[in-house]
A and B are shown apart, each in its own frame.
Chain A
Amino acid sequence: MKQAFLDSSVLFTAVNSPTGGSAKLFTLPIQLVTSTFVLTEVERNVREKLLSHHLDRYFILVKQMKIVEGKSDTKLIEKAKKVIVEKDSLVLADAKLSHAEYLITLDLKYFFTPQAQKFLKPTLILTPKCSLKKFPDCFNDRFGFGVSQFRKQRQ
């Protein structure tokens, strides 16, 4: 079964908006993965920003996920800091360590750069919408080239 690593933006939004693309990911036949860092960050924000029923929903969603230990090695985090802002470097390193096929994020500003994609290869960076609806076209829009071309490049 294919694996998709969810970052904090996707897990938080899946808790907050049950009808959006992030929540729909939980209905697909893929193994959703996240890290202890993402869980810590999301749970902190669910408790501080949302209501008690959201916390209940958060626990239900996390039960469906595979959790990778967030013991990212320092060297990998340092490398990640060179291609992405510091706040997202730990997530990028965790996603790399998870060996998931996809990193799903809603953070368009920092994750959707050729540098971050190159760092993470062979993992593809996608939004929930891309992974649900129009994956090849969407990928092309974000990075300026198609998936098949990307796969050739990384070989």
Chain B
Amino acid sequence: MQLQPSQFIPITEARTRISELTKSVEGDTYVVLTKGGKPKAALVDIAYLQRLQNDLSKLYKKTYIDPVLLPITRQFSDSEIQEWEKEDQL
């Protein structure tokens, strides 16, 4: 998802344009509201938000993890991940 500069609007400005902005958000088009120049919240199409939440929920429910084997697995260190990436380069 790419944020376009035109989608950033200060909250103070949004207050006066809320009706117009609400109409403008549709599908994956959304508006980022800023406070003190920094992104603070987003005005998003509710159907799009629900779809995202459902997709994420499905994604995280699916698993190949075997709970019996999980305790004997280990967490990879950042250095070994970097070494693998280096060795993997073609």
Q: Could you list which residues of chain A lie within 8 angstroms of chain B, going by C-beta atoms?
A: 8-10, 12-13, 16-17, 19-22, 24, 36-37, 39-41, 43-45, 48-49, 52, 55-56, 59, 62, 67, 70, 87, 90, 106-108, 127-129, 132-133
Q: Name the B residues within 8 Å of A16 (CB-CB).
A: 81, 85
Which of A22, A49, A56 contacts B76 (CB under 8 A)? Answer: A49
State the CA gap A55–B81 with chains docked (Å): 16
State the CA gap A70–B69 with chains docked (Å): 9
Q: Name the A residues within 8 Å of B70 (CB-CB).
A: 40, 44
Q: Which residue of A lies closest to B69 (CB)?
A: A40
Q: How far is the CB of A68 from chain B (nearest CB, A)?
A: 13
- CB of B73 within 8 Å of the partner chain: yes
Q: Could you list which residues of chain B lie within 8 angstroms of chain A, going by C-beta atoms?
A: 56, 59-60, 62-66, 69-70, 72-76, 80-81, 83-85, 87-90
State the CA gap A41–B65 with chains docked (Å): 8
Q: Name the B residues within 8 Å of A56 (CB-CB).
A: 59
Other than the known A39-B64, A44-B75, A55-B59, what 18 A-B pairs have Cβ atoms closer than 8 Å? A20-B88, A20-B89, A37-B66, A37-B73, A40-B69, A40-B73, A41-B73, A43-B63, A43-B65, A44-B73, A45-B76, A49-B76, A52-B56, A52-B59, A67-B64, A90-B72, A106-B87, A129-B87
Q: Which residue of B lies closest to A58 (CB)?
A: B64
Q: Name the B residues within 8 Å of A12 (CB-CB).
A: 76, 81, 84
Whether B64 and A40, one on each chain, are in contact in the complex, defined by CB atoms closer than 8 angstroms, is yes
Q: How far is the CB of B66 from chain A (nearest CB, A)?
A: 5
